[in-house]
């Protein structure tokens, strides 16, 4: 998952972009980038690392302009090397920078068309570079020296016809303004907000509404599936539906894990959705184990805290923070390799022994994906002297790959793939395991927005809503991105002879 932001303001927007990216850091820890435009000149800084490490004051001084975009990256295509950090840039037409959250499912075929029919060169394995070139080509075809909002929307209509998958996008068109659009299913989130001041209205588009809060912007609405926004350099706002068929089908995993609880997406408070997940999970536990002997409920920080509280409250059992999180370690699930993930769980979480010793403990997590976290935490609970260790997941078993922007490419790496619940329970070393029902997970989110009748839920069901994902595609994704191959790609990309971004700064040192 990546995080996006785009702003059209009245003065330099670099600091607002930076603050927004820090609020979106949980969506991508691999690389960060900001691109701004002033008097037709584009400036950018992007590199591997966290937001606080990538941008120094000397970069901020150069990132001038009242229009800009920003990105934090969690790779789902190509390596995690610096050449694939976003935004991407193309010089023709106009000079366009683009950042993307999601994943295209027909990248290979579109890349081939770009080369053979559109005569465009793509220099990396990034699906985002492909997406940018499709947008640029469709704009170029219109042959306008000065594009109107309608021209931009026309180009986006053609982008929707050519690409498949999940994509929320922000783009900067030099001298003209900010563009934002969302795929026809609205798989990845995108929200629009405003700040009214004595200078007029400033506009912001972002992955999550928390990016508005830090900057004092008000959430106005979600960008609709298939819809595009264009905000000109001088703040004129245009919006148009650009897809022929649309149906809001947002990713349910945002509500389980990815989004911050203080965000509101597609009209749903993520916090309330997680509270309801906890209520529903407690009800299932009470049904299945009316005479349970749980002494204490302990959440696995961070993401399961909210659901965990409701599980405890509704079961009438004590809630205790028995695991302390090291605040300087990031999210483990979105780290690129299994070795790094495994090590991070131990660095990140530490048990308070007295909450475990001699007790029957119910550990609650939001999800079990590869099983890295729960296996280690269950062992920690035993080492701390727990009597019985039960485990509850606030989402159903994750059995199938994700192809729309979450890096779960390989079914074989998922602990629940081809295993029964009993086998999973044994594998993770728990005394008992319970999963949320899919209907209950749905209800927890739908109660926040009754207009949504379906979520993108393929990791639980294997049903891919874009209709183009077949076994051959899943096999090729697995081959390209399983942990072993990915680590090789990442070694290759860190080689000093590896391709570096053509428009990158040569100096990415962190001093100054
Ligand atoms: O089964 P696994 O492969 O271990 O993946 C699932 C775990 O990973 C995530 O935590 P993470 O540490 O990434 O972030 P968090 O602090 O937001 O919970 C998620 O919340 C689960 O705890
Ligand atoms: N997680 C994402 O949204 C990834 C965006 C894009 N596919 C990349 O790999 O850079
Ligand atoms: Mg977690």
The per-residue DSSP string of 317-360 comes to -EE---EEE-TTS--STTSSSHHHHHHHHHHHEEE-GGGTTT-E
- Cα 269 to ligand 2 centre (Å): 24
pLDDT of residue 509: 43
Of all atoms in ligand 2, which is nearest to the CA of residue 86?
10
The answer to whether 365 is annotated as binding is: yes
Nearest in space to 225 (alpha carbons), one of 203, 204, 251, 202: 251
- 74 φ/ψ sector (left φ>0, alpha ψ -120 to 50, else beta): beta
- Cα 101 to ligand 3 centre (Å): 21
Q: Collapsing DSSP states into helix, strand and coil, what is residue 409?
A: coil
- If you ran DSSP here, which 8-state letter would residue 76 be given? S
Residue 504 has pLDDT above 60, yes or no: no
Residues 6+ apart with CB under 8 A from 198: none
DSSP alpha helix (H) spans, 93-185: 107-116, 127-141, 149-162
Which pLDDT band holds residue 329 (cuts at 50, 70, 90)?
confident
The answer to whether 30 is annotated as binding is: no
Which pLDDT band holds residue 496 (cuts at 50, 70, 90)?
low
User: Is residue 102 lining ligand 2, measured as CB closer than 6 Å?
Assistant: yes
2 is catalytic: yes
pLDDT tens-digit readout, 279-293? 999 999 999 999 999
| Average confidence (pLDDT) over 70-92 | 95
pLDDT tens-digit readout, 155-199? 999 999 999 999 999 999 999 999 999 999 999 999 999 999 999
- Cα 360 to ligand 2 centre (Å): 41
Say how many C-beta atoms besides its own lie within 10 A of residue 275's C-beta: 18
| Average confidence (pLDDT) over 19-24 | 98
pLDDT of residue 508: 46
**Token couple for 4:** 């996006």
Site of tokens 């029902």:
437
pLDDT tens-digit readout, 374-409? 999 999 999 999 999 999 999 999 999 999 999 988
pLDDT of residue 79: 87
Residue 491 has pLDDT above 70, yes or no: no
> What is the residue with the minimal CA distance to atom 10 of ligand 1?
333
- Which residue among 254, 258, 329, 332 is best mutated to probe the pocket of ligand 1, counting the most ligand atoms within 8 A of its Cβ? 332
Residue 330 has pLDDT above 60, yes or no: yes
Rg (CA), the chain: 23
* Percent of the chain residues past pLDDT 70, beyond the cut: 95
- If you ran DSSP here, which 8-state letter would residue 255 be given? I
pLDDT of residue 339: 76
Which pLDDT band holds residue 490 (cuts at 50, 70, 90)?
low
- Cα 366 to ligand 3 centre (Å): 7
Ligand nearest to the CA of 332: 1
| Average confidence (pLDDT) over 354-368 | 98
| Average confidence (pLDDT) over 301-306 | 96
- Cα 331 to ligand 1 centre (Å): 7
pLDDT of residue 135: 98
| Strand pairing report for 41-48 and 96-104 | unpaired
- Which residue among 261, 303, 308, 334 is best mutated to probe the pocket of ligand 1, counting the most ligand atoms within 8 A of its Cβ? 303
pLDDT tens-digit readout, 423-479? 999 999 999 999 999 999 999 999 989 999 999 999 999 999 999 999 999 999 999
Task: Spell out the domains of the chain, with CATH numbers in brackets.
Answer: 3-248 (3.60.20.10), 270-449 (3.40.50.2020)
User: Is residue 71 lining ligand 2, measured as CB closer than 6 Å?
Assistant: no
Mean pLDDT of the chain: 94
Instruction: State the maximum Cα–Cα separation within the chain, in Å, rounded to a whole number.
Output: 74
| Average confidence (pLDDT) over 84-91 | 97
Binding pocket residue ranges, ligand 1, CB within 6 Å:
257, 300-303, 331-334, 365-374
User: Is residue 103 lining ligand 2, measured as CB closer than 6 Å?
Assistant: yes
The pTM score is: 0.95
Which pLDDT band holds residue 482 (cuts at 50, 70, 90)?
confident
Query: What ipTM does the predicted assembly reach?
Result: 0.98
- Which residue among 5, 27, 71, 76 is best mutated to probe the pocket of ligand 2, counting the most ligand atoms within 8 A of its Cβ? 76
397 to 12, 147, 282: CA distances (angstroms): 46, 48, 17
Sort 199 into a burial class: Cβ within 10 Å, 0-12 / 13-18 / 19+: exposed
- pLDDT greater at residue 99 or residue 481: 99
Residue 503 has pLDDT above 60, yes or no: no
| Strand pairing report for 264-265 and 268-269 | antiparallel
Ligand nearest to the CA of 373: 1
pLDDT of residue 510: 40
The answer to whether 302 is annotated as binding is: no
Ligand nearest to the CA of 394: 1
Q: Are the beta carbons of 458 and 466 closer than 8 angstroms? A: no
């Amino acid at each position: 998952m990546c995080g996006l932001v785009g702003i059209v303001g009245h003065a330099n927007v670099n600091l607002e972009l930076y603050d927004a990216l820090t609020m979106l850091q949980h969506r991508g820890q691999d690389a960060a980038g900001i691109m701004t435009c002033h008097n037709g000149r584009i400036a950018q800084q992007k590199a591997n690392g966290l937001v606080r490490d990538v941008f120094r004051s000397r970069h901020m001084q150069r990132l001038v302009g009242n229009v800009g975009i920003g990105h934090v990256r969690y790779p789902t295509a190509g390596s995690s090397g610096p050449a694939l950090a976003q935004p991407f840039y193309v010089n023709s037409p106009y000079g366009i920078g683009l950042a993307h959250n999601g994943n295209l499912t027909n990248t290979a075929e579109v890349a081939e068309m770009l080369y053979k029919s559109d005569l465009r060169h793509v220099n990396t394995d990034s699906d985002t570079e492909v997406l940018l070139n499709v947008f640029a080509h469709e704009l170029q075809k219109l042959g306008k020296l000065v594009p109107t909002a309608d021209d931009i929307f026309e180009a986006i209509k053609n982008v929707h016809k050519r690409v498949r998958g999940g994509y929320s996008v922000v783009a900067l068109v030099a001298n003209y303004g900010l563009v934002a659009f969302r795929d026809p299913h609205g798989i990845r989130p995108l929200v629009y907000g405003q700040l009214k001041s004595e200078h007029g209205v400033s506009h912001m588009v972002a992955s999550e509404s928390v990016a508005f809060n830090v900057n004092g912007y008000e959430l106005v609405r979600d960008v609709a599936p298939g819809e595009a926004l264009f905000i000109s350099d001088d703040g004129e706002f245009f919006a148009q539906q650009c897809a022929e068929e649309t149906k809001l089908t947002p990713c349910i995993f945002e509500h389980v894990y990815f989004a911050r609880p203080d965000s509101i997406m597609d009209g749903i408070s993520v916090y309330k959705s997680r509270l309801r997940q906890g209520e529903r999970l407690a009800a299932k536990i009470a049904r299945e184990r009316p005479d349970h002997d749980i002494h204490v409920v302990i959440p696995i920080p961070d993401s399961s805290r909210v659901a965990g509280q409701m599980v405890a409250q509704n079961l009438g059992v004590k809630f205790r923070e028995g695991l302390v999180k090291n605040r300087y370690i990031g999210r483990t699930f979105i780290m690129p390799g299994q070795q790094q993930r495994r090590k991070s769980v131990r660095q990140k979480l530490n048990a308070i022994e007295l909450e475990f010793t001699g007790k029957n403990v119910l550990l609650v997590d939001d999800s079990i994906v590869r099983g890295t976290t729960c296996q280690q935490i269950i062992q920690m609970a035993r080492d701390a002297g727990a009597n019985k260790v039960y485990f509850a997941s606030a989402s159903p078993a994750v059995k199938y790959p994700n192809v729309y922007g979450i890096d779960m490419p390989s079914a074989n790496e998922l602990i629940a793939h081809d295993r029964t619940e009993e086998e999973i329970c044994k594998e993770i070393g728990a005394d008992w395991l319970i999963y949320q029902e899919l209907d209950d997970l749905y209800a927890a989110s739908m109660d926040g927005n009754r207009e949504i009748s379906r979520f993108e839920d393929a990791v639980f069901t294997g049903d891919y809503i874009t209709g183009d994902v077949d076994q051959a595609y899943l096999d090729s994704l697995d081959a390209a991105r399983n942990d072993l191959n990915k680590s090789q790609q990442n070694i290759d990309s860190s080689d000093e002879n590896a391709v570096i971004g053509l428009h990158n700064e040569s100096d990415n040192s962190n001093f100054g």
